[in-house]
């Protein structure tokens, strides 16, 4: 059971960043930019460059924790 949970954490860690990128691309509306320096789609779900960086770091952490949980098997 613990091994399955670890695998699911690893898979979700691999899915988090591509899902964030797809959400940023879908909700990207360059016509609403008021400034040329503003990143397109930044206000939607917080997925600007900073939101994508947070999603990447969160995905890495979830993947690594899933690897630890998967490897944690109590031998009796």
Domain annotation covers residue 16: yes
- Please determine, for residue 58, whether its predicted confidence score (pLDDT) is greater than 80: yes
Length of the chain: 76
DSSP code string of 17-66: HHHHHHHHHHT--GGG-SSTTSPTTTTSTT-SHHHHHHHHHHHHHHHHHH
Domain annotation covers residue 76: no
Q: What confidence score (pLDDT) does residue 29 get?
A: 60
- Please determine, for residue 70, whether its predicted confidence score (pLDDT) is greater than 80: yes
For residue range 19-30, list pLDDT tens digits in order. Answer: 988 887 776 666
Query: How many CB atoms sit inside 10 A of residue 33's CB?
Result: 14
Q: What confidence score (pLDDT) does residue 74 get?
A: 58
Entry pTM: 0.70
For the chain, the domain total comes to 1
Which residues span the domain enclosing 50? 2-28+41-71
For residue range 28-49, list pLDDT tens digits in order. Answer: 666 665 544 455 555 555 567 7
Domain annotation covers residue 53: yes
Domain annotation covers residue 20: yes
Domain annotation covers residue 33: no
């Amino acid at each position: 059971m613990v091994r399955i949970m670890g695998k699911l954490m690893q898979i979700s860690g691999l899915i988090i960043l591509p899902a964030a990128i797809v959400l940023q691309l879908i909700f990207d509306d360059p016509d609403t930019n008021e400034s040329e320096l503003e990143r397109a789609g930044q206000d939607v779900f917080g997925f600007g460059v900073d939101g994508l960086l947070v999603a990447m770091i969160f995905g890495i952490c979830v993947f690594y924790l899933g690897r630890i949980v998967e490897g944690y098997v109590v031998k009796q």
